Amino acid sequence: MGINSFMYGLRRYGKFSSKELKSFLITVIIIGFIIGFNDRRETSSIDSYYFMFMLVSIALVAFSLFLKLMMQRAWMYYFGQNPEYKYSINSLLIGIVIIFASEGHLWFLAPGFTMPHLLQAERIGKWRYGLKYLEHGRALMLGILGLVFFNIILKFFESATTPFLTHAININIAISIYSMLPIPENDGIFILYARRWLWVFTLAVVVLSAILLKLVANPWIIIFFTLILATAITIAYNLKKQPLWFS
């Protein structure tokens, strides 16, 4: 696929339909409400700071989710698929129940998922003309990994005087982790179904990067050790599942 064809397809299929936009807005508002429900202050008063924290949380969730979805949509079109974003109302309602029951201390986020539809013209000449689970899983994985590495880039600019940026990093971490849960109507279940090792590698990258972002100040060290350790974990998983012929 040439760059001109790719950019044309991205302009045509990258836009959200009215149904998708409605799903996106509902998801953003509910997840933003869950995250902004507890502003981490000792006081429980609802004042202007509380409402500002809530609005900032919603805005950051919108940016984070939009970034992940646009990267997934671009890769899905590259693989000859027409993406459609869907949300999980059941999981979102569970998240609301949990946030009230825990008084704002426990998050359960449901970012939704992106489903593929066949683009016949783009699949002509490809082996196995129809949709492939692996390509769908790879597109979802690349969107999540893109969000992870964007988060690491933000680390270059984080400091003690940028609480807004720290909040954005925490939201990106949360959305990345919850996107990997292998539950119905979530990206994680489709990545797991595509290839188990793909899910193991992506989950390892997400979790390791989240831990190192909290412990290490140098973003280059975070990238290096995240990739090395995630690769080692994936290889160890594959060796355990399929031992070497001489073992």
Q: What is the pLDDT of residues 29-57, one digit of tens each?
A: 999 999 999 887 776 677 888 899 999 99
- Residue 16 pLDDT level (bands cut at 50, 70, 90): confident
Residues in the chain: 247
In this structure, which amino acid lies at residue 159? Answer: S
SS3 content of the chain, % helix, strand, coil (to 5): 70, 5, 25
Q: Is 170 helix (H, G, I), strand (E, B) or coil?
A: helix
- Residue 245 pLDDT level (bands cut at 50, 70, 90): very low
* Distance, CA of 233 to CA of 201 (rounded, Å): 7
Tell me the HSE value of 91 on the side-chain side, using a 13 A CA sphere: 21
Q: Tell me how many degrees the CA angle 24-30-34 measures, rounded to the nearest 5.
A: 140
Span 91-116, pLDDT tens digits: 999 999 999 999 888 999 989 999 88
